[in-house]
Structure 1
Amino acid sequence: MTGAGTTRPRVVAVVHRAWVLHPRWSLAVRGAVAAGLAWAVAVLAPAPFSEYPFYAPLGAVVATTATPVRSLRESLQTVGALLLGALIALVADVVLAPSVLAVALVVGVALLCAGWRVLGGAGVWVANSAIFVLVLGQGEDASYVAAFAGLILVGALIGTGVNLLLPSLPLAPSDVALDALRDALTDQLDALADGLEHEGALDADEWERRREALFPTIERARRAVDVARESSRGNMRAHRHSAWASSQGRRARTLGTAAGVVDEVVRLLVDWEAAGRDDVALGPPLRPVVARALRALAAALQDTTEGDEAAGRFAAAVDDLRAEVRDSRDRSGDDHLVAGALVVVLGRAAEAVAG
């Protein structure tokens, strides 16, 4: 009995974690509920609407795939696109006999109309709707188009309602994406510090590959945070998780700044701390100091338990670098322009980490 009792909470915890980490599951549930409700309403509607109940679930699915704020706007845009396509097909059906010319003309006009700015991303539905109505609505009167558009609109409104009552708030997937970005940035910083702590120039080709490999991770994190931010607007669940959302926003800004800093540092060092250059960026005296600053930045991004202490150590490391650059400039008489640029760039990261 004890084993079964402890297993059940563990299973519930695993299922809950999978649920929050994979918003597609909740999207599937919302879509299924909205589509079922839309079908039931359409079946009960008077003729000619009840003759075509399968159009209502289409509108419901369109609405439930958007965030609560975008749901109504995108639903209206999609309904407008579907109605426009249906009207194009209806006019063609009245004017032209079924033929290759009719199909080509309908598709051509629909694709032109799909670029209408007011339709936004829903413009793709114009051509789909035109072909659909041209094939299935052939020989029907205007009541078919009215039923088609009306049921799509009803389904979209039902989907919007379900979205508002059962909104998704994908903060957990955003945290996972930000964790991946943090790990990728700290790996880059540690590897760069390793290169500076050993004699020799940095491999330009290798670091160009590293820079390019980081871009998809940055973009995934940016997209995930954007989706979470937009999902929180008009979301009844958002106020319960406002602290989480605010913390995630600050973390996203910090990591975004850090990603830009890492990219700039890599470009500066690969270009200027290179073999065969007389005017290297750092040279033996400054390389270890920069390496310590980079490791301190990696620790500040990675170690969330120490918080302000890790940020303080990084700020101190940047101050040390600034002082070493100043002293080296005084001793050698060199400008140390690139080293000074590194100080400025890392200083920007210190401000972001201190937040």
Structure 2
Amino acid sequence: MTRRPLLDPRSWWADAVTGERLLLAAKTAAAAVLAWYLAPLVPLASSEYSYYAPLGVLVSMYPTVARSAMSGAQAILGLAVGIGLGLGSLALVGAGMPRGAAVAVVIGLGVLLSGVRALGVGRDWVAIAALFVLLLGGADPDGYSISYLFTMAFGVLVGVAVNLLVFPPLRVRSADRRLTQLRDDLVSDLDEMARALAHRQFDPHRAGAATQNLARTLDSVRAEVDASDESRRYNPRGRRVREQGALHRRRLDALAASAEATRTLTVALTRLLTDSGVDARLPGGARTALADAIAAQSRLVGAPFDRSDGPLAEAADTLDRYIESLGRSEVATTVETLDGWDAAISLRRMTEASREFAGR
């Protein structure tokens, strides 16, 4: 599969214009306008600084409600730390420190405090808030600081509320699609492996590349399932799909185990088939039986959830026939055939990983 260059406008458009992103953009814009108009009503804050309310919306609006709440709280905490640092630097200026030196001090300390991982996304706001208080506080730094913090906090509350009340996002369907894609990729790799083995065309480089692609796909699918779990937290709609979320997690565990077994199977086949003496290590009958076992395993992984137990029985039977063919070979007890047994172990692990979803 060819990948578009990073600077290709079409890839930018494809990333930006999605249904989920359009909904997030609309909610963020609406929340920002709402916060702007309501900001003058915030207690203890001057209406002069109402423009910080839309900024609070921006720092709190994320694709999931849980992430919005967490990021908003972390941003406010980072702002509070930065404001405190800025007020401290103003005290130093009042004591006679040159303002340029105070700027250097506040920036240096702000960058140091930005390394505190507990602040999360709030780390990015420590130095900025401190610098704003120092340079923009003017004759009333306390009033500016209170207005800055309270108005931003109000914007965060508006953003989280809008995200919670207006179509709170659920990424359950997206996780389901990505899991299905992972399953299809795994089935495709196993089918190709079985055909190559049966026709004596096994290419270790191609098989290794397919395994690496499968590992990358697994990482992205795992991240999508995690995002789906996060989207259900604090989400009123999440209760209705709780069981589906648990199913996604079990599917992911099963597919991850199958993907790891596919990797070890690829390693075993590479050692079996790339050196001389292949027919001694894997006689013709054993080769055919192994190809059949891999093909049956592919059908088991790709079968629908409401299947009968036929694919599971077929996978077990073909694997037993392969093991019997290894036992009948003249070199069955030599070191060179250990890779053949490793292949059997990998297939057995794959069968066990799929067992939960086998049968009615």
Q: CA deviation at 1:291?
A: 1.6
Using the size of structure 1 for normalisation, the TM-score is 0.82
Distance 1:122 1:297 in 2: 49
Q: CA deviation at 1:64?
A: 2.6
1:174 aligns with 2:175: yes
Question: Which structure 2 residues correspond to residues 207-218 of structure 1 after superposition, within 5 A?
Answer: 207-218=207-218
1:86 corresponds to which of 83, 86, 91: 83
1:95 corresponds to which of 89, 92, 95: 92
SS in 2 for 1:248: helix
SS in 2 for 1:237: helix
Please say if residues 44 and 146 of structure 2, whose CA atoms lie closer than 8 Å, have aligned partners that are also in contact.
no
For residue 56 of structure 1, what is the aligned residue in structure 2? Answer: 53
For residue 163 of structure 1, what is the aligned residue in structure 2? Answer: 163
Q: CA deviation at 1:280?
A: 7.0
Inter-CA distance 195–106: structure 2 relative to 1 (3 Å threshold): same
1:263 aligns with 2:263: yes
For residue 189 of structure 2, what is the aligned residue in structure 1? Answer: 188
Gapped runs of 5+ residues in structure 1?
A: 1-20
SS in 1 for 2:263: helix
1:148 aligns with 2:148: yes
Distance 1:75 1:352 in 2: 40
Please say if residues 60 and 69 of structure 2, whose CA atoms lie closer than 8 Å, have aligned partners that are also in contact.
yes
Using the size of structure 2 for normalisation, the TM-score is 0.81
Inter-CA distance 285–146: structure 2 relative to 1 (3 Å threshold): same
SS in 2 for 1:168: coil
Distance 1:132 1:184 in 2: 52
For residue 4 of structure 1, what is the aligned residue in structure 2? Answer: none
Distance 1:208 1:112 in 2: 44
Q: CA deviation at 1:66?
A: 5.7
SS in 1 for 2:124: helix
Please say if residues 272 and 278 of structure 2, whose CA atoms lie closer than 8 Å, have aligned partners that are also in contact.
no
For residue 245 of structure 2, what is the aligned residue in structure 1? Answer: 245
Task: State the AA in 1 paired with 2:270.
Answer: V
SS in 1 for 2:285: coil
Distance 1:64 1:108 in 2: 29
* Alignment root-mean-square deviation, CA: 2.7
Q: CA deviation at 1:52?
A: 0.9
Distance 1:344 1:49 in 2: 70
For residue 322 of structure 2, what is the aligned residue in structure 1? Answer: 321
Inter-CA distance 293–81: structure 2 relative to 1 (3 Å threshold): same
Gapped runs of 5+ residues in structure 2?
A: 1-17
Distance 2:281 2:147 in 1: 71
Distance 1:287 1:145 in 2: 75
Inter-CA distance 260–48: structure 2 relative to 1 (3 Å threshold): same
1:342 aligns with 2:343: yes
For residue 75 of structure 1, what is the aligned residue in structure 2? Answer: 72
Comparing 256-265 and 62-71, the one that deviates more:
62-71
1:38 corresponds to which of 35, 41, 56: 35
Q: CA deviation at 1:102?
A: 3.8
Q: CA deviation at 1:223?
A: 0.9
Distance 1:176 1:188 in 2: 18
Q: CA deviation at 1:185?
A: 1.5
Identity value in percent: 30
Distance 1:41 1:88 in 2: 29
Distance 2:313 2:21 in 1: 40
Distance 1:229 1:298 in 2: 28
Task: State the AA in 1 paired with 2:276.
Answer: G
Deviations 1:56-114 (A, max 9, x none): 22222322316333433332221111221233233334424443x44433222111101
Deviations 1:203-229 (A, max 9, x none): 333333323233332221111111001
Please say if residues 114 and 126 of structure 1, whose CA atoms lie closer than 8 Å, have aligned partners that are also in contact.
yes
Task: State the AA in 2 paired with 1:338.
Answer: D
Distance 1:298 1:131 in 2: 60
Inter-CA distance 296–332: structure 2 relative to 1 (3 Å threshold): closer
For residue 10 of structure 2, what is the aligned residue in structure 1? Answer: none
Task: State the AA in 2 paired with 1:77.
Answer: Q
SS in 1 for 2:284: coil
Task: State the AA in 2 paired with 1:144.
Answer: Y
